[in-house]
Amino acid sequence: MANTRMKIVESDSDRWEAQLRKGALEMAALASLWNGRLYGLEIIRFLETHSRLVLAEGTIYPILNRLKTDGLLTSEWVEAEAGHPRKYYSLTEAGRIRLREMARAWTSFSSGLSRLLEPLFKAEEIAK
C-alpha cells in the first residue's frame, strides 16, 4: 500500500520534472542561438553540454517550428559537405527581444523560488 503510494508520488514528480524541462526548453532553444545560427542537432548538442535539459530529442523540432511560426526564428537550408542540406535557425530581432524578456522574468522567478525553498534545504541539512 505504502509502496504503491510511493510509486505514484515518484511518477508524479517525474512528470512534473519532465513538464518543467519542456517549458524551459523553448527559452533554452532561443538562448542557444544567441551567438549565431545552428541546425537542429547542434542545438540539441548545445543544450546537452550546457544544461541538463535532455529529453526526447524529437521534441526540439516542433518547438523550433512553432518559434519560427511566431516570428522569433528564421530558417534557411544550407548545403553541407555531408551530402545533404541542413536547416539552420537564427534569431530574428523579435526573437532577441523576447529572449531578453524571458531571461529577465526567469531570473527573478527562479531566485524568488530559491528563497522560498531555502528553509526546506536547511531542514534537510539539520536532519543529516
Closer of 7 and 108 to another protein (Cβ): 108
- Contact code string over 52-91 relative to another protein, x by CB under 8 A: ----xxxx-xx--xx--xx------x----xxxxxx----
In whole angstroms, give the CA distance from residue 40 to residue 32: 11
6 is a contact residue toward another protein (CB under 8 A): no
Please return the burial class of 37, using the count of CB atoms within 10 Å of its CB with bins 0-12, 13-18 and 19+.
Answer: middle
In whole angstroms, give the CA distance from residue 19 to residue 81: 37
95 is a contact residue toward another protein (CB under 8 A): no
Give the closest residue to 76 by CA, choosing from 86, 66, 61, 62. Answer: 86
**What residue ranges bind another protein (CB under 8 A)?**
19-20, 22-24, 26-27, 39-41, 56-59, 61-62, 65-66, 69-70, 77, 82-87, 101-102, 105-106, 108-109
